[in-house]
Amino acid sequence: MSSELCFAHGGISRPLIVRRVANARRMRLAVDPRDGSVKLTLPRRGSERAARAWAETQRVWIERQLASLPAPRPIVAGGTVPYRGEDLRIDWSAERSRTVHHAGDRLVVGGPAEGLSRRILAWLKREAHRQLEAETRAVAAAAGVTVGRVAIGDPRSRWGSCSAAGDIRYAWRLILAPPHVLSSTVAHEVAHRLHMDHSAAFRAAEARLLGTDPEPARRWLRQHGASLYWVGC
Q: How many domains does the chain have?
A: 3
Three state DSSP letters for the chain: CEEEEEEEECCEEEEEEEEEECCCCCCEEEECCCCCCEEEEEECCCCHHHHHHHHHHCHHHHHHHHHCCCCCECCCCCCEEEECCEEEEEEECCCCCCCCEEECCEEEECCCCCCHHHHHHHHHHHHHHHHHHHHHHHHHHHHCCCCCCEEEECCCCCCEEECCCCCEEEEHHHHHCCHHHHHHHHHHHHHCCCCCCCCHHHHHHHHHHHCCCCHHHHHHHHHHHHHHCCECC
Establish if 74 belongs to a structural domain. no
What is the arithmetic mean of pLDDT over 80-109?
Answer: 97
The answer to whether 207 and 191 have CB atoms below 8 angstroms apart is no
What is the arithmetic mean of pLDDT over 106-110?
Answer: 98
| Span 134-173, pLDDT tens digits | 999 999 999 999 999 999 999 988 999 999 999 999 999 9
What is the arithmetic mean of pLDDT over 41-45?
Answer: 91
Is the pLDDT at 3 greater than 60, yes or no? Answer: no
Share of the chain above pLDDT 90, in %: 90
Q: Where is average pLDDT lowest: 45-49, 52-56, 151-155, 212-216?
A: 45-49
pLDDT of res. 157: 86
Separation of alpha carbons 214 and 232, rounded Å = 28
Q: Are 195 and 145 part of one and the same domain?
A: yes
Is the pLDDT at 2 greater than 50, yes or no? Answer: no
Is the pLDDT at 1 greater than 80, yes or no? Answer: no
What is the arithmetic mean of pLDDT over 29-47?
Answer: 92
The answer to whether 169 and 161 have CB atoms below 8 angstroms apart is yes
- State the chain's mean pLDDT as an integer: 95
Q: Which domain holds residue 46?
A: 2-67
Considering 45, 67, 89, which residue would you say is the last residue of a domain?
A: 67
Q: Are 104 and 192 part of one and the same domain?
A: no
Considering 42, 67, 92, which residue would you say is the last residue of a domain?
A: 67
Q: Are 129 and 199 part of one and the same domain?
A: yes
pLDDT of res. 4: 77
Q: Are 177 and 157 part of one and the same domain?
A: yes
